[in-house]
Structure 1
Amino acid sequence: MKKLVKYIMITAGLGFAVWTAGCKKATDKSFLDPTDIGQINEQTVFADSALSIQFLNSVYGDLPRTYFMQNGITGGGIWAFSDASDDGEARWSSGFSQGFNRANVAGGADNVFSLSTWNSCYAMIRRVNVFLDNIERAPLSAAKKTRLRAESRFLRAYSYFHLLRTFGGVPLLGDKKYNLEDNFLLPRNSFAENVNYIEKELNDVAVILPLEHLPEDFGRPTKGAALAIKAKLLLTAASPLFNESNPNSGPVKVLLGYEAYDAGRWKKAADAAKEVMNLGLYRLVEDNTTAPGYGYYDMGIQRKNSEYIFQIMMNTGRFYEQYLLPASRGGQNYGNPTQQLVDDYAMSNGKMITEQGSGYVATSPYLNRDPRFYYTVIYNQALWLDRTSLTKKPVDLYALAPGDGMGTAAYNTVTGYLWRRFCNENAGGNYGVTSQIGLVVSRYADILLEFAEATNEFQGPTSEVYDAVEAIRKRAGLVPFAINRGMSKEEMRTVIRHERRIEFAAEEGHRLFDIFRWKTAETLLNGPMDGMRWTKTGSTFTGNRITFETRIFNSPQMYYHPIPLKEINKNNLFIQNPGW
């Protein structure tokens, strides 16, 4: 039987990862479904140099799905930004909120998130294996083949990392393509085997991948990208969910973490982050002269800068503006920050709002906050560029009368807030300047905080830990940015976790997987989720805290998503995760 492969044509050049929002839908096929085929056979594709490269580009084309799957449910053209964590909520819920669906795994063992993650990641892995099996005979130079093999292995390792932190140990296919005649009955590999495999793959390709790419190849993985994903992998593996006392027993125990705690895993994670730092290629984008924390904003609207390590390239101008801004600014508002997140922004002097001497005033809650707040959240009467006047005007997020307000088309918010993360303040969803930034997967701020967290857990708050945290706070524009250098490990842990929440709000699922790996989701995703309802009387605005939803998180079941039921039903070697 002729072996067929799935083939997706992707525009060449800078558009190698072109992806049109709404055009891809989650498939309900099994990851080893032999009907996952296309119209062009392997002999045809890999006899042509352009088609060979475009085949690999098809894997890049699926990367945006992995990004949005980490934030909320993806499918049917709707994506959420941090809406599965305690940071946000989706505007469109279809009966269930995005946060409820993602955190509580609505739909049981065949929930949309689990199916999307499993099928999309394994489809990418399968295509990489097809590519690796055929690239040697493509009419390309030896140097080109070597680099493309390394790129494809990076993409495969990256896909396995998504699977690992969602499901625990998953089947490792190696380089097998699994064609029609193959036996697909594979057991799940242990958590440790998955970590070791991904780590080795990233180490191997880091030696091959270049430090930087030529402009036409920007967005493809570099040595820094491979080392950065390895650092995140090892930090995840060292974290409490996987590295502390494993409550499971029997065969599933080794699938969901290590069998015994090892403090040395924190050391490995710290060393991996330090390896990226020692490259000397990356630095924070800092500018507190234009305005406090302006570098944080400026970094987020640039296509390329000194902080980005790996990003998924997009070719849809004003992408963030289109999806995050309100209808009054040409946007579609796909997600809303929670009051819990807003409350966690410190004051500009670095003190928390409940801390003595912070200067917080409840009747003017948005004055003198951490500068990152203003570059992340749109609140009632915040200024944004108006389409008609092309001047900045207040954004109305208040209810005009009882019964009106949040969640309706007029006000476009469930929580009383909107995201503006990565949005250019000189643009609306369909007007103003055109930005061409990508989806940022890894940046240097993450490396600094990963290093600080892992080192603190292994050694306590050393001077290097303080330096890394203070670099983040200094760039943020906090005055003073320095912190008390007499903290305990536990106190520093609290500071680092706070900085991670604020620094990465609305970014690539950081918050969701942080509170999972820290095993704090059982507290943070259990109970009321709040927002702010503003009303206007004359020229006076009055805000009242509201609860828009009560979430339930069943621990420990929900820390691991279920293996899709169709995989369990067709493979008697699979062990389902506990509780599903």
Structure 2
Amino acid sequence: MKSIYKILTVLALMASTTACDDLLEVKNPNNQTTFDFGDSEPELQEALIACYNRIRLEGTFARVGYTLDAVRGDEVWNSSQQWYLEYDNLNSPGTIGIGDEWPWRDNYHVVNRANFVLSKVEDVEMSEEVYNQIKGQALFLRSLAYYHLATYYQSVPLIIDYESYSDIASLYAPNNTQDEVFDQIETDLTTAMQILPSRNNGGEWAKGRATSGAAAGYLARVLMFRHKFPEAYAVLKDIIAGKYGTYTLTQDYGDNFKEGTENNSESLFEVQFMNYGTGGTDEEWTPVNISPDATQGHAVESNYASQELGSWGDLAGSPWLYNLFRGEKCTDNRLDPRLYWTLVTYEPEYNTYTDIPTAAYPDGDPRSNVIYKETVTETPLSNNAQGGISIAKFTNARNNIYSTITNGLQCGINLRLMRYSDVLLRAAECENEINGPTQVAINYINEVRRRVALKDLELSDFPSANHLFEQIANVERPKEFGCENGRGIDLLRWGFFYDEGRMQQLIQHGYYKRDRTANTDPLTEATADDSSFKYLYKGHEYFPIFQGILNSNPNLVGNSANRNNDNGPGFLAKWSVRPVTDLN
């Protein structure tokens, strides 16, 4: 009997052990990892959405990553004299997270997710059409992230495989040169341009997604940054000819800054946001927030709008930009309507074409809390303590949607990162660089000017390439793209930081007053309180790499801003800077 009990006990133990083994082999479907995810086309589509989500974070385009380049330029100054001040003055010590770390962190999150998709896409069975869509989008988004990393931080680690960088905390790669990064971007965008569908062929799918036109547009930007004007011009002419889809200027310039006219005929690529009424309630400030109720908006409005109306009042438009608009009337003697959509100033003539006598928020100025017919007509301040002109672009100041500002990640206006007007003005610049001032270049510019009823330019007014360049760089582009992301990158590629005449010009453009008014007077050295460009440290036209990142990565070295190195000799060894040219 005892022997039987012993046998039964052994059998029971064996059975229980076998059962345990079976249980241990069961995988929890709710606890997937990157090792067992992404092996099917639906899962790759989900991973691709995660890539897009990363360009909607604070360090990419939801606030800091977008506005840092604007404040680096000459159209915007730091009216709070606090946040962004070191990036307005171009002298960050490298220990401030807002600009030295956040765009780095969040753009590398985009790189990380795009690399994951690209590491999986070759081994998943799918149609050629879907394969091209998935791979092309991942290549574009990785290139978008690296374009901003390279133009913000100069020399950054180039990581193009997922295995060497599966966790952002384990990034120990060394710096690559800016040229090496741009080489990779050119390769990736060339492929993406060839395999992605155009906006025409993509149909509803293409709304909000990267298309061949988006890839072509950004390829032209990278080529022009490297002064490869013939190559860039060829791409731009193909876009204009419709090779990558049909693009046209919107009839109303303001349609590029409203919620109801997003993904329109002019947009090559834009970041998708939703307004606070439908976009959730939890603020998603960090890259780890996975709340199902996370907000889907951006905080650019919180930076740009008036503190007097309830916003943070961090950034203001320059008086130079305001007076540039005022310097030229339309053919019907109106103000350039782009002023209305760029800066929040009250002009009496706004009543004649808006029928709303207000400087901002047509449904009711938050200062008065009354209906618009009784709204006060004073220009609101950017910042209560310093003053300044608040910025209208990508805010609800002109949209007649909300009567107040809701701070935080609440604004639902899509950020148009590249528009067809940029294609036209870049084509004019390339034509001028290659052939000098020609009627072809003038025609590209006039197409943009006619949209807002400005008088056509005449070729005879531009006797040299320097004259036409001055018109493009310091008249046409600032008025068309004023206060948008990209002006600082333009100043880099033109070499304005490396020429004494151009630096003096930037100082003049950057003059502002801290007199607690929305000062719109033309300012001089004698009448201005300051100019941010007076404080530029050598090498700080790029932002320093955050010291904490350098401390944690022994293979990484600082860039020109960390070392206060002058980039001028290196730039001038390859290219020249066009001299300041009087257009009068």
- TM-score normalised by L of structure 2: 0.70
Amino acid across the alignment from 1:55: A
Are 1:91 and 1:414, in contact at CA under 8 Å, matched by a contact in 2? Answer: yes
1:59–1:159 Cα change, 3 Å: same
Number of the residue aligned with 1:426: 400
Are 1:416 and 1:531, in contact at CA under 8 Å, matched by a contact in 2? Answer: no
Are 1:46 and 1:137, in contact at CA under 8 Å, matched by a contact in 2? Answer: no
Number of the residue aligned with 2:139: 153
Superposition pairs of residues 130-529 of structure 1, within 5 angstroms: 130-136=116-122, 141=127, 143-178=129-164, 185-212=172-199, 213-238=202-227, 265-279=228-242, 281-287=245-251, 295-301=252-258, 302-316=261-275, 323=302, 324-326=304-306, 333-349=313-329, 368-380=334-346, 382-384=358-360, 385-387=362-364, 388-391=370-373, 393-397=375-379, 407-408=383-384, 414-420=387-393, 423=396, 424-428=398-402, 430=404, 437-480=413-456, 482=458, 484=460, 486-497=462-473, 498-507=475-484, 509-521=485-497, 522-523=503-504, 526=507, 529=511
Are 1:453 and 1:496, in contact at CA under 8 Å, matched by a contact in 2? Answer: yes
Are 2:343 and 2:392, in contact at CA under 8 Å, matched by a contact in 1? Answer: yes
Deviation at 1:460, TM superposition (A): 0.6
Number of the residue aligned with 1:86: 74
Deviation at 1:228, TM superposition (A): 0.3
1:103–1:230 Cα change, 3 Å: farther
Deviation at 1:472, TM superposition (A): 1.3
Q: Secondary structure at the match of 1:64?
A: coil
1:560–1:506 Cα change, 3 Å: closer
- TM-score normalised by L of structure 1: 0.71
Amino acid across the alignment from 2:191: D
Give a deviation string over 1:460-483, Cα, whole Å, max 9, x none.
112211111111111122135556
1:73–1:511 Cα change, 3 Å: same
Question: In structure 2, what is the Cα distance between the partners aligned to 1:437 and 1:187?
Answer: 38
Q: CA RMSD in A?
A: 3.9
Deviation at 1:327, TM superposition (A): 6.4
Which of 59, 65, 90 is the aligned partner of 1:104?
90
Are 2:428 and 2:440, in contact at CA under 8 Å, matched by a contact in 1? Answer: yes
Question: In structure 1, what is the Cα distance between the partners aligned to 2:136 and 2:99?
Answer: 29
Q: Secondary structure at the match of 1:440?
A: strand
Amino acid across the alignment from 2:547: L
Q: Secondary structure at the match of 1:345?
A: helix
Question: In structure 1, what is the Cα distance between the partners aligned to 2:112 and 2:516?
Answer: 51
1:437–1:303 Cα change, 3 Å: farther
Deviation at 1:435, TM superposition (A): 9.4
Mean Cα deviation higher: 80-89 or 173-182: 173-182
Number of the residue aligned with 1:21: none
The reply on whether 1:576 has 2:558 as its aligned counterpart is yes
1:68–1:333 Cα change, 3 Å: farther
Number of the residue aligned with 1:554: 536
Amino acid across the alignment from 1:375: W
1:68–1:371 Cα change, 3 Å: farther
1:485–1:513 Cα change, 3 Å: same
Deviation at 1:195, TM superposition (A): 2.0
Mean Cα deviation higher: 41-50 or 229-238: 41-50
Number of the residue aligned with 1:60: 52
Give a deviation string over 1:424-482, Cα, whole Å, max 9, x none.
44233559xx9964110111111111111122122211221111111111112213555
Are 1:329 and 1:428, in contact at CA under 8 Å, matched by a contact in 2? Answer: no
1:317–1:305 Cα change, 3 Å: farther
Are 2:317 and 2:391, in contact at CA under 8 Å, matched by a contact in 1? Answer: yes
Number of the residue aligned with 2:7: none
Give a deviation string over 1:205-248, Cα, whole Å, max 9, x none.
1111001233255111101000000000111111xxxxxxxxxx
Deviation at 1:556, TM superposition (A): 3.7
Are 1:470 and 1:483, in contact at CA under 8 Å, matched by a contact in 2? Answer: no
Number of the residue aligned with 1:46: 38
Question: In structure 1, what is the Cα distance between the partners aligned to 2:198 and 2:430?
Answer: 25
Structure 2 runs not aligned, ≥5 long: 1-29, 278-296, 348-357, 365-369, 498-502, 565-584
Question: In structure 2, what is the Cα distance between the partners aligned to 1:107 and 1:525?
Answer: 22
Mean Cα deviation higher: 466-475 or 541-550: 541-550
Are 1:453 and 1:493, in contact at CA under 8 Å, matched by a contact in 2? Answer: yes
Mean Cα deviation higher: 482-491 or 270-279: 482-491
Deviation at 1:420, TM superposition (A): 4.6
1:519–1:139 Cα change, 3 Å: same
Deviation at 1:121, TM superposition (A): 1.7
Amino acid across the alignment from 2:138: S
Give a deviation string over 1:528-559, Cα, whole Å, max 9, x none.
631496889xxxx9979674544234354112
Deviation at 1:304, TM superposition (A): 2.4
Size of the aligned set, in residue pairs, is: 474
Q: Secondary structure at the match of 1:513?
A: helix
Question: In structure 2, what is the Cα distance between the partners aligned to 1:460 and 1:574?
Answer: 42
Amino acid across the alignment from 1:378: V
Number of the residue aligned with 1:13: none
1:523–1:64 Cα change, 3 Å: farther
Structure of greater Rg: 2
Question: In structure 2, what is the Cα distance between the partners aligned to 1:270 and 1:91?
Answer: 38
Question: In structure 1, what is the Cα distance between the partners aligned to 2:327 and 2:462?
Answer: 22
Amino acid across the alignment from 1:266: F
Question: In structure 2, what is the Cα distance between the partners aligned to 1:340 and 1:534?
Answer: 18
Question: In structure 2, what is the Cα distance between the partners aligned to 1:383 and 1:406?
Answer: 12
Are 1:103 and 1:553, in contact at CA under 8 Å, matched by a contact in 2? Answer: yes
Question: In structure 2, what is the Cα distance between the partners aligned to 1:185 and 1:534?
Answer: 47
Question: In structure 2, what is the Cα distance between the partners aligned to 1:73 and 1:525?
Answer: 23
Mean Cα deviation higher: 134-143 or 465-474: 134-143
Question: In structure 1, what is the Cα distance between the partners aligned to 2:308 and 2:371?
Answer: 13
Question: In structure 1, what is the Cα distance between the partners aligned to 2:401 and 2:308?
Answer: 12
Q: Secondary structure at the match of 1:501?
A: helix
Question: In structure 1, what is the Cα distance between the partners aligned to 2:438 and 2:37?
Answer: 54
Question: In structure 1, what is the Cα distance between the partners aligned to 2:165 and 2:390?
Answer: 49
Question: In structure 1, what is the Cα distance between the partners aligned to 2:174 and 2:301?
Answer: 43
Q: Secondary structure at the match of 2:101?
A: helix
Amino acid across the alignment from 1:453: E
1:277–1:66 Cα change, 3 Å: farther
Structure 1 runs not aligned, ≥5 long: 1-37, 239-264, 288-294, 352-366, 399-404
Question: In structure 2, what is the Cα distance between the partners aligned to 1:161 and 1:420?
Answer: 23
More strand by share: 1
Are 2:344 and 2:389, in contact at CA under 8 Å, matched by a contact in 1? Answer: no
Question: In structure 2, what is the Cα distance between the partners aligned to 1:435 and 1:101?
Answer: 24
